[in-house]
Amino acid sequence: MKERILLTGKNGQLGRELQRSLAPLGELVAVDVEDFDLAEIDTVRSFVRTLRPRIIVNAAAYTAVDDAETEPALAMAINALAPGVFGEEAASIGAWVVHYSTDYVFDGTAERPYSETDTPNPLNVYAKSKRAGELALQASGAQHVILRTGWVLSSHAQNFAKTILRLAVEQTQLNVVVDQFGAPTSAQLVADMSAHLIRQEQTEGSEDFPFGLYHLVAAGETNWYEYARYIIAAARAEKVPLLLEPDDIQAVKSKDYLSPAVRPSNSRLSTDKFCSTFGLPLPHWQSEVDRVLQQIFMIQRGQA
């Protein structure tokens, strides 16, 4: 009998890739806000109690970083309260939870990649809600895996790469922040690694499975400015019609780029724990971006 897997956030960047990667692993029940609203906590409880999955994969999140500054209650409900409820309900039925968090839980002041043992210090409402979600799940009593990632991109939904490509068709000059560092990571990579972990638990059993908190991002590092230049150069190489050249992008400091929510300058995450625990090497961010850009270009040409 196939194990039942509940996947939330099926229509998001990560959720779409998880539908693909998790489908062979069990009876996949994929839902989104139109099926039930994570902000309605009682509905979340009753849904899990009725469905009784063995694994809950929570890819749903409130991700509008700037909007969270004026909608803190909604961000907290979805990002903090719901993961705790998933954990409580999972613990009561013997299920376990895979949950996704963010590099933004750190304040970015360190001069090295952050490890799982570093103390979080979130700077904005979104980050505080995601950190609260981690703590709520950890306190729930459920077995769980929390995967912190960042700078996620895919060929669908909105993300930095797609925004840059859109603006490059409309504008001849662009300002991009140069003093925030991280590693672009594809939703496909996160989904594939998640499926690997779930398959390992299914094969080996939960008794010896290394549940816990892990960082999962691509290898290497860059900043938003260099990332944007890389995107435009790749598009130019593929003869994508653009108004913008890489040299038309101007580097600006975070202090000169006003936004409602403060972002950390250092979003680099150490993946040593993940790689050593699961024996999985992680690809460089450039290969991640190349793969997703090729998918985007194919869609634009009507080949996918």
Residue 37 has what pLDDT?
Answer: 87
Compute the average pLDDT of residues 236-258. Answer: 91
Give strand pairing partners of 148.
101, 215
Under DSSP, the state recorded for 265 is S
156 closest CA partner among 4, 13, 304? 13
- Any idea which residue has 């590693």 for tokens? 183
Residue 191 has what pLDDT?
Answer: 98
Helix (H, G, I), strand (E, B) or coil at 24: helix
| Per-residue pLDDT at 302 exceeds 80 | no
- The model's pLDDT over 136-148, given as tens digits with 9 standing for 90+, comes to 999 999 999 999 9
Confidence tier at 34 by pLDDT (50, 70, 90): confident
Q: In what helix (H) or strand (E) does residue 8 lie, and over which residues does it extend? A: strand 4-8
Is residue 126 part of the annotated active site? The answer reads: yes
| Per-residue pLDDT at 33 exceeds 90 | no
On average, the pLDDT of the chain sits at 94
Distance CA 162, CA 39 (A): 28
The CA distances from residue 252 to 107, 180, 240, 249, in Å, are 20, 10, 26, 10
Phi and psi, residue 215, nearest 5°: -95, 135
Residue 1 has what pLDDT?
Answer: 61
Are 229 and 157 in contact by the 8 Å Cβ rule? The answer is no
Residues making up the chain, counted from first to last: 304
| Per-residue pLDDT at 299 exceeds 90 | no
Confidence tier at 126 by pLDDT (50, 70, 90): very high
Compute the average pLDDT of residues 274-280. Answer: 96
| Per-residue pLDDT at 304 exceeds 80 | no
Residue 156 has what pLDDT?
Answer: 85
Are 243 and 171 in contact by the 8 Å Cβ rule? The answer is yes
| CA distance from start to end of the chain | 35
| Per-residue pLDDT at 282 exceeds 80 | yes
Q: What is the CA radius of gyration of the chain?
A: 19
162 closest CA partner among 68, 261, 299, 254? 299
282 closest CA partner among 119, 134, 149? 149
Compute the average pLDDT of residues 187-194. Answer: 97
Strands 55-58 and 96-102: parallel
Under DSSP, the state recorded for 69 is G
Residue 127 has what pLDDT?
Answer: 96
Distance CA 28, CA 223 (A): 37
pTM across the whole model = 0.94
Residue 192 has what pLDDT?
Answer: 97
- The model's pLDDT over 212-228, given as tens digits with 9 standing for 90+, comes to 999 999 999 999 999 99
Q: Nearest-5° angle of CA 218, CA 265, CA 284?
A: 15
- The model's pLDDT over 95-120, given as tens digits with 9 standing for 90+, comes to 999 999 999 999 999 999 999 999 99
Range list of β-strands (E), 178-235:
181-182, 185-186, 212-215, 222-223
Q: Which of 126, 214, 225, 227 is catalytic?
A: 126
| Per-residue pLDDT at 182 exceeds 60 | yes
Which residue ranges form the domains of the chain, and what is each CATH number?
4-158+184-220+268-283 (3.40.50.720)
Confidence tier at 303 by pLDDT (50, 70, 90): low
Residue 17 has what pLDDT?
Answer: 96
| Per-residue pLDDT at 38 exceeds 90 | no
Phi-psi region of 174 (alpha: psi -120 to 50; beta: other; left: phi over 0): beta
Compute the average pLDDT of residues 151-175. Answer: 92
Phi and psi, residue 303, nearest 5°: -100, 0
Residue type, 85: V
Residue 257 has what pLDDT?
Answer: 78
Torsion of CA 244, 254, 290, 111, to 10 degrees: 150
Distance CA 162, CA 293 (A): 9
